[in-house]
Amino acid sequence: MSNQFEIGTIVTATYKTGEYVGEIVEISSSGKAAVKIKAVIKHPTQGDLHNPMDPNVPFFHQRRALSDGEIALMPMYTVKPFNGTIQEYRVSLERALYTEIRILEEQARWVERSLQELEQLKKDYTL
C-alpha cells in the first residue's frame, strides 16, 4: 500500500481516534507514514477507549488534537488520498471540536429523554 503514496502527497490519516489532513514527509519500512498535520477532520474521542461511554474509570483520558505542523507516525492502512480543499488549521480545529461537542450534547439529550420514557414505562408496568 505504501507504493501508492509519495513524499509530498496530501492525505487523510487517522491517529488514535482523531482524523487529519496532512502531507506525507516520510514513509517507513515498518508500514507507517510520517504525516505533517495541516487540518483536523475529526477531533479525538475523550475518555477511556477500552471502556467507552464509562465516566467512572480510574483515568479519564483528555485527548488533544494534533497541532498544526506536528508530525505523527500514521499506520499506512489509515492513510488515504485527499482531493479536497485544505481548511486553515485553526478553522478546521474549531469545526471538529464543535462537531464533537454537538454530537455529545445530542447523545446527552437522547439519554435524558430515554430515561424519562423508561420512568414512564416503569409506572405503566407498576414496578
pLDDT digits (tens, 9 = 90+) for 19-67: 999 999 999 999 999 999 999 999 999 999 899 889 999 999 999 999 9
Distance CA 29, CA 67 (A): 25
Query: In this predicted structure, what is the pLDDT of residue 2?
Result: 42
Mean of the pLDDT values across residues 81-100? 98
Q: What percent of the chain has pLDDT over 70?
A: 98
Query: In this predicted structure, what is the pLDDT of residue 4?
Result: 84
Residue 117 has pLDDT above 80, yes or no: yes
- Work out the pLDDT band at 3, boundaries 50, 70, 90: low
Q: Angle at CA 109, nearest 5°, toward 107 and 111?
A: 70
Q: What is the dihedral of CA 27, 5, 36, 50, to 10 degrees?
A: -80
Per the prediction, the chain carries an average pLDDT of 96
> Which domains are delineated in the chain?
2-124 (2.30.30.430)
Tell me the pTM: 0.87
